[in-house]
Chain A
Amino acid sequence: MESGDKVWEVFVQKKSGLPFKHVGNVHAYDKKMAVQNARDLYTRRGEGRELWVVPTSEIVSVPLDDADAFFDPSEDKPYRHATFYEIPDGVKHL
């Protein structure tokens, strides 16, 4: 079986002012090839002005077993949202 090609995640910025967005991945053997392959696969229709690639193996995820511990505790903190607060009628610009 062959080896040597890596998977790279691709992020594209469409216009200045917009955030980079994850669009998918490509296979490539080296960094230069990775940006070129990403350019050829994901920006053929004018979708890009800037591009990042990063080896998939370098991306760190939340441990699968701990996902609940990471994310559930934020669900009972409604006071972080503007809708939590009551503002008297007639008060503006809040």
Chain B
Amino acid sequence: MDKFQEAFDEIIEKDLKVEPRDWMPEEYRKTLIRQVSQHAHSEVIGMQPEGNWLLRAPSLRAKQVLLAKIQDEAGHGLYLYSVAETLGISRAETIEQLHQGKAKYSSIFNYPTLTWADIGAVGWLVDGAAIINQVSLQRTSYGPYSRAMVKICKEESFHQRQGYEIMCQMAFGTPEQKEMAQDALNRFWEPSLMMFGPHDADSVHKGQSMAWKIKRESNDHLRQRFIDRTVAQAEYLGLTIPDPNLKFNEETGHYETSPFNWDEFWNVVKGNGPCNTQRLDHHKRAHENGAWVREAAAAYAAKTENKVA
């Protein structure tokens, strides 16, 4: 074994961090680029379903909170694009891959936010699931990714609460509001659980990712943690989890659920969900509409900035 591989293995073995200039196996780099860019795009595309209600937020408070939250998602996208850049891929390239359909983003954002209660459900369930995943990723073996996760987790601590606060207002509001809350839970429950990815037995990249400590806990493990935490939160709201087979297993200490509709999951991943085209088109359009602005900024800088080197 060559000395580079040996040094890398030692970093992983001893739970140290791999840094950008350290030697790393090409597959490790590729796996990270795929995961980090998908994560970055998820933050950025995730701005859209929430942005759908930004201009209709029903109070000044809700408006400011939602805008601050979406703004955070943009910032988290930036942190993650920056991590991808340390792996040798520029932001422009990463965005290009998104536009060409080569890079993915979390499939959950292909679902529409139909009512204001959906903004509650997205914060409570979608951010809730994302946070469980991101807390686990704070211990990922790639230094810049790990540091980005620490910062993101810190900033996102208010996101899930914001969502749950809306769920409380809706669930304890008028009958119409409660109905909207239940409907939002019905539609977002299963897609949120599938955010953690395929079952461990069916997960393509799982083995190597775990061995390299890019991923620290398995999909099923994280998903179970989310379910166990969320059921009681739904009960407090007086809402029903839309799964007739949901039950607590005294022996394992965990909730059990019905099998998920993986056919739908894969079909949405493939591009056939309710909003896939819309989301991508929105991003492309904003990018294209901004081209002349970026060109102007570049031209102005070329005229006015002191040339360095």
* Distance in Å: Cβ of A12 to nearest Cβ of chain B: 12
Please judge, given known A-B contacts A30-B305, A31-B305, A57-B309, whether A24 and B298 are in contact too, CB under 8 Å.
Answer: no
In A1-37, the 8 Å CB interface with B consists of 1-5, 7, 24-27, 29-31, 33
Indicate if the CB atoms of A29 and B301 lie closer than 8 Å: yes
B56 at the binding interface (Cβ < 8 Å): no
* Distance in Å: Cβ of B295 to nearest Cβ of chain A: 8
Indicate if the CB atoms of B297 and A33 lie closer than 8 Å: yes
* Distance in Å: Cβ of A61 to nearest Cβ of chain B: 8
Indicate if the CB atoms of B92 and A1 lie closer than 8 Å: yes
Please judge, given known A-B contacts A41-B78, A57-B309, whether A4 and B85 are in contact too, CB under 8 Å.
Answer: no
Chain A contact residues, majority secondary structure: mixed
8 Å CB contact of A4 from B21, B302, B304: B302
A48 at the binding interface (Cβ < 8 Å): no
Between A1, A30, A44, the greatest number of chain B beta carbons within 10 A of the residue's beta carbon is seen for A30
Which residues from chain A contact B85 at a C-beta distance below 8 Å?
A: 7
Which residues from chain B contact A58 at a C-beta distance below 8 Å?
A: 308-309
8 Å CB contact of A2 from B71, B92, B151, B302: B92
Nearest 10 A/B pairs, CB to CB = A4-B298, A29-B297, A30-B301, A29-B301, A30-B305, A25-B82, A41-B75, A29-B298, A64-B21, A2-B92
Binding site for B on A (CB under 8 A): 1-5, 7, 24-27, 29-31, 33, 41, 44-45, 55, 57-58, 61, 64
